[in-house]
Amino acid sequence: MHTKGFFCLVILCLAFPLPGCSAQQTIKSTVTVVSPTQLPNTVTITGWFTTVWNDEPHYSITDDQGKITRLLLNEELTKPFGGPLEFDRKRVTIVGEMTSDSPRTVRVLSIQFANTN
């Protein structure tokens, strides 16, 4: 909870700089961006996103070869798109970290609608 408050304060400071507020300089000098593809066991999968409800939502993606991968999805990743149901039965691309081969399971690091071209 304290972390959320800290980030809100930083966002307010960035949006409305006050005299003596140096959060912008601090953030620029201390943030290290790590591309998801630099992490070990990282995979990119394009396929059809499916939601199955069984007391709680269970997410999966089926690639073009018919291989189904279980997805561990933090729903916060989907909020900019309107939530996880916006992806249901749509073609998506996910980048994630393999957590298990049996059953094949991926922790989703990013999700986006796939190009339909």
Please give the pLDDT value at position 7: 43
The C-alpha atoms of residue 45 and residue 75 are separated, in whole angstroms, by 18
Please indicate, yes or no, whether residues 108 and 71 belong to a single structural domain of this protein.
Answer: yes
| CA 10, 96, 56, 77 torsion-angle sign | positive
Please give the pLDDT value at position 40: 74
Dig out the tokens for 13 from the structure: 């400071």
pLDDT one-digit tens code per residue, 23-51:
444 333 333 445 555 567 899 999 999 99
Number of domains in the chain: 2
Please indicate, yes or no, whether residues 16 and 46 belong to a single structural domain of this protein.
Answer: no
The C-alpha atoms of residue 38 and residue 25 are separated, in whole angstroms, by 26
Please give the pLDDT value at position 115: 83
* Residue 10 lies in domain: 2-31
pLDDT one-digit tens code per residue, 46-97:
999 999 999 999 999 999 999 999 999 999 999 999 999 999 999 999 999 9
Query: Is the backbone peptide bond immediately before 80 cis, with ω within 30 degrees of 0?
Result: no
Please indicate, yes or no, whether residues 67 and 105 belong to a single structural domain of this protein.
Answer: yes
Using the predicted structure, report yes or no on whether residue 11 has a pLDDT greater than 90.
Answer: no
The C-alpha atoms of residue 109 and residue 73 are separated, in whole angstroms, by 8
Please give the pLDDT value at position 74: 96
Dig out the tokens for 97 from the structure: 């970290």
Residues in a beta bridge with 62: 48, 68
Between 74 and 5, the higher pLDDT residue: 74
Please give the pLDDT value at position 39: 65
Using the predicted structure, report yes or no on whether residue 17 has a pLDDT greater than 60.
Answer: no
Please indicate, yes or no, whether residues 43 and 97 belong to a single structural domain of this protein.
Answer: yes
